[in-house]
Structure formats: structure tokens, C-alpha cells
Amino acid sequence: MTSIGHEEARETSGATIAGVLRYVRRHGGDGAVAEVLRRAGLEHVAAELEDQSRWWSYDTRIRLFVAATEVLQDPDALFAMGTSALRSGLGHSLLLVLRALGTPRQVYRQLPRSAARFTTVQSMHVRETSPTSATISLTLAEGYEHSALDCAFARGLAITVPVIFGLPQGVVASSACASDGSRTCVYRVTWERRSRLRRRRRRREDDPELMALRGQLRTLQSAAGELVGSEDLDTVLHRIVARAGEAVLAPAHLLVVDSPDGGAPLVHAAGIPEDQLPALAERLLAGEDLGPSAVVVDVASARRRHGRLAAIYRTGDGPMSDEQTMLAAYAGHAAAALDLLIALRGARLEAERAGALLALAHELAAASDATAVCDIVAATLPRVVGCSGASVMLWDPTLGQLQGRSSARPDRPQGEHFLSTPLRPEDTPELIGMLTDREPRILGVGTSSPAVAQFLREIDVTDVVAVPLVAGTTFLGVATASWDTGETPPELGGDVLARLRGVGDQATTALQKARLLETVRHQAMHDALTGLPNRVLFLERLETTLAGTAPEGHLGVLFCDLDRFKDVNDSLGHAAGDELLRQVAARLRAVVRPGDTVARLSGDEFAVVLPDLPDPADARRLAQRVSGCFSEPFRLEGRQVDVGTSVGVAVLAADGPRSADALLREADAAMYRQKQHRGRAAAR
């Protein structure tokens, strides 16, 4: 909810302030206006002072009155300002309302309500009226200091009423001013009957009603152009409330419209205390009667009803006739502007979605692994679907669980929880259903199984649309779109589901391609028989480890060659030889450290990378462990077969070559020397 305005108390209508400045400009020029603002200490808000929709404090009003009197050097300037209010464009809409009352006497009877449009700290009462006179009183609220200039301005305003009907100005027959010691200012105004005036043709340009109509038209045209020229919804709503203050003068205005994106209504207000705003906005949107002190109209066009707009007065003041018509006319302009803005936003959103989908296709085409695919899809979904968050979860058939792989907001604590918490079918009926029928699910905290509801609460999400990623009959995972509290659109099926499914289809194709690439890459980098890295991957990892080893660090390489491997092939056959290689690979993996890399280079040759050795001697100790794993015979074709190994060791030296090929050759040479040494020993 947004309350617009400024820090000053809303005690004086901007229509009064703007009229004073126009009078000063007409009689003294822009220089006089600047000097008035300087003396009143209002230079910092100069651009806002001529905005009739703004409200100001009583203190600002009096400082401006004093400064204007001094600059114009005219002690009667405020009385003259009051008498020229109609020419200064004071409240076009109010003048039209007053003109509709028919006679000066009827207008004077309505003056208390009229005064409430301009001030909230003074109360006016009509003591008596006749066809040619009215006695009115004006009382300043407690706590405010009376000003003779304010009294003069009010007297000037009071005598302009007959002018509305083409009569000469009235005359103040008597007055008692509070500045003379009276508590209340009392004025008796008289005017001439129409029948006593000589017939004469009034110039059309001098007709107050025509001037007011022209001014009101300019106001509406300006407001319409300003609204249509805005592209930001929040700015438009702010301006609707601000310009409603010109369409109908009132101490407070309230606008409540439905959010075009769904979710909570949008509320903008002026002159309403923050603690009263939520309840009042709820009543307005619900269509409740706000009472006799409010004018309420629909903000609606031929296309749609957006919400409601209200002008709110102090209790007891209430609206005047025709003000609802004027506010409704303005609300029509506001509705047209909202129609245009929503249409533009829709077109822009569709263009952004089309661009996001095109970018998605390009990025997925370049993605080479499943993680990259998931990251791209999760990042794109909010732009395409219009959701608050998104994620991709992949199915692990080995563990039988759905695991979060990527989130659109991984930096949030809830994102970390999502990525670390798997969903299992035995705990999640919704997952069982998706595995069975491959259909999307719309999930909510209040409508899901206990496990899913708890999961949603833990990741701070209220509503989720989940679409399965299925390639043929293979269940790959799930893509989800989620909404934070208050942001969920009213309909999660239809377009939302269709857009999510479209992205899901692209994700499925990309995941299939990534899996194929991963399979091809694995086959190209791994030995098909043992599953160990091959020579290409071994050298790649060795180069990477070398690059990351500090000059004073220690890195070792072991080169292993099996003894009697040819005999096994010749005596038991190649199938037994293959089985031997698989068992050797398993034993080697079992004796090395978790960070070491075991590879099959070719035939019966294996190698091991030993990174981060605490001491160079550790390489020898690990070589002994490798040799020790061959002490037990291998079982092949139902027989116990003894197979040994020769192990060569190379350790990166500070002054030695930092090359993967050089280290491997050094370890190979060491292995060959050990094999020769063992052969000579066996011959002796």
C-alpha cells in the first residue's frame, strides 16, 4: 500500500496556494514570485506549489500570505486575491458545482461544504440568508494563530459568489474579525438582484462558467496525456490519485485497483493515515458504503473494471451535487490509461518472453552437461512464466529420489535447503503420481501432502506448478515455477502451465543431448573394460594437478605393469585376462587415497596420480601399498592365480621438469628398472 503526499500537514488545499502565486505573477512577474518564495522559505518546493492537487500546512499558507503582501507592497493584496480567485482558476470543478446550484443564495447555503474543499483547520457556518444577503462565520481550530491576512482573503472570496451567476461582486456590509478580539470572524455579504440589473451582453470570454469549463477540460486533457505517457504502473496509480485532487477538491483520496499480475490489490492514497489505510482500502474494494462523507466511483472502461476511486471529506462535510459526475469523468480517463498501460505491458511482456525463449534455445544448444542445462532453465523460467522463483530437479534412478539440481535464487538460505533436500516417492504421493501418469501437478501449502507442505514452508513458497520432464518413457526430473506469498496469479493452469510445459520440453531435449554428450565424453575418456580413466584423461588430470601444485609442493606418479599377464591370457584365455584387469582395477582403487587418480593406460599398464603429498617419501609408501595389494592371489575361471606387479615411482622435484609426459616417462623408467632388478634376482 502506498500513501502519497509530502511531510507537511494537509491543512490547506493547493488550489489556494496556486491561486496566490498566479496573482503574484500577474501583478509582479516571475521575479516577484521568486522573491515571495524566498521570503516564505519555500524555494525548495517551488515546482510543487502551483499543483492544485497538493495540500500544505496552515503555517505555509500564512507565510506565503505575509510574503506576498510584502513583495507586492499592497496591504490589501490578500483581499484582492480573494476577489480575483475566479480569474486565477481557483477550483474549476468546484465553480461548476456551485454554478449548478442556481442562485447566490443557494451557494451561500452550501459554503460550509465548499470551504471544506480548501481547508481542514477552519469551520464555516451560515447564520442567515436572504435573496440578497448572507451572514457567515468562520472559526479557526484550537491551536492555530489567527491571521488578519487570512481573514481578508476569506472576505474577498465571499463576495465573488454573485460573479458565478453573472452578477457584480457582492459587498461586505459588516464584519467582526477575530484579530480584533472576537473568537469568530463574521461577515455579512449583500448583492444586487438580477432584476435590478440593466440588460447587457456579457462577453463570452468573461463568463465564469465558460472559463471553468475550459479550465476543467484543460485539467482532464493534461491528466489524460500525463497518464497515457506513463509506462510504470506504480507511477500511473500515483498520478491518478494526485490528479483526482484537481478533478474533485477533497482532503483525502483513495484508489484501490486489482493487480494486473494477480496477487494483492494495489492501493494508493493521499491524506489518509497509514493505520487507517488497510481497512479503508479493503472496504472500498469490497464495494462497501464509505458513508455520506465520501464520493466513490468505479475505475472502469468498456474493456474491464480496474477498481474504485474515492474522494473523502471530513465527517459532516460530505460531497456536493455533481462531484460524483466529475470524479467519474476523471476515473474514465484513468481507466483508459490503465487499459493502455496494461496492453503495453502485455505486449512488452510477450516480447520479453519471446526473447527469453529464443535466448533459452541458443543457451541450451551450447550447454554441454546436465548442470548447465538446469542452471539455464531455472534462470529463464521466471522471465517466461512470470513466477517468483523456479527450479529444476533431476531423478536419480540409482537412489530412487528426486534431487534439486538448480534454483533461480540459489543465494537465499531457502535455495540451499532446496538443493540439499531430496524427495522420495515413499514420502511424497505427488511424486508417485508424477512417476505413474507423467502429468503436471499444482501444489500448495494447504492442499499438498504433509511432506510436500512442509517442504514448501521450509523453502518459503506458497504455490508451485510442477511439470515432469519425460523423454519417451524415461522420467528425467521436474521443472517447477513457484510464487511467494501474495504474488500467486489467480489461475495457475492455462497460460502459466502452457509456458512452463514449453520450457520443460526444451529442457527435456537439452538434458537428453547432455546425457548423450556425457556418455560419449565418458567413453572417450575412460577405459571401457575397467571404467578407469584412460591415458588421455590421466594426462589431462596430471597436467591440471601439476598446474595447481605450488613450487614447494609434492606430487607423485606411480607406473604399474602386471607380471605374468601374458601367461594368464595364453593359459586361461582372454576372458580370464579381462576379468583379471577388472579385479586389478578394483584393488588399486581400494588402496589409494580418495583424491588419487587411478588409470589404465594400455594393456596391463596402470598409473596413479598422487597429489598433495605431505612428504616425497609418502610416494614410496603408497607404492608399497600398491604392490601389497597383489600379495593375495586372484580367482580366475575357478582357479587361484598369482599375479604380481612392478611399480615405478616419480616425484616432482623443485628443480625437475614440470611436465606430465616427463613425469610419466620417469615413472615408466623406474618401473622398468624395478622389473629388470626383480628379473635378475629371480635368475640368481
pLDDT digits (tens, 9 = 90+) for 324-381: 777 787 777 777 777 777 777 777 777 887 888 888 888 888 888 888 999 999 999 8
Alpha-carbon span 647 to 663, nearest angstrom:
14
5 — pLDDT class (breaks 50, 70, 90):
very low
221 — pLDDT class (breaks 50, 70, 90):
low
The answer on pLDDT for 91 being more than 70 is no
Total residue count of the chain as it appears in this document: 684
2 — pLDDT class (breaks 50, 70, 90):
very low
Check residues 637 and 203 and name the one with the higher pLDDT: 637
Confidence at residue 193, expressed as pLDDT on a 0 to 100 scale? 81
**pLDDT tens digits for 269-301?**
888 888 888 888 888 888 888 888 888 888 888
Q: What long-range pairs does 182-185 form, CB within 8 A, spacing at least 24?
A: 183/139, 184/137, 184/138, 184/139, 185/137, 185/138, 185/139, 185/151, 185/154
| Closest CA relative to residue 280, chosen from 247, 308, 318, 316 | 308
Residue keyed to cell 503420481: 433
| The pairing of beta strand 474-483 with beta strand 639-641 | unpaired
Question: Is residue 642 packed enough to be buried (19+ CB in 10 Å), middle (13-18) or exposed (0-12)?
Answer: exposed
Phi, then psi, of 50 in degrees rounded to 5: -95, 10
- Name the strand (E) or helix (H) holding 303: none
What the block records as the C-alpha cell of 371 is 548442470
Q: Of the given ranges (56-60, 76-80, 351-355), which has the lowest mean pLDDT?
A: 351-355
In single-letter form, the type of residue at position 443 comes to: L
**Widest CA span in the chain:** 151
Alpha-carbon span 519 to 434, nearest angstrom:
27
Alpha-carbon span 383 to 366, nearest angstrom:
20
Confidence at residue 3, expressed as pLDDT on a 0 to 100 scale? 45
**pLDDT tens digits for 454-464?**
888 888 788 88
**pLDDT tens digits for 395-422?**
998 889 999 888 887 666 667 778 888 8
| Closest CA relative to residue 607, chosen from 585, 625, 629 | 585
Work out the mean pLDDT of the chain and round it to a whole number. 82
What the block records as the C-alpha cell of 77 is 493584496
Mean pLDDT of 20-38: 91
What the block records as the C-alpha cell of 334 is 484513468
The answer on pLDDT for 95 being more than 70 is no
Confidence at residue 404, expressed as pLDDT on a 0 to 100 scale? 87
Mean pLDDT of 444-449: 85
Alpha carbon 30 to its chain centroid, in Å, reads 43
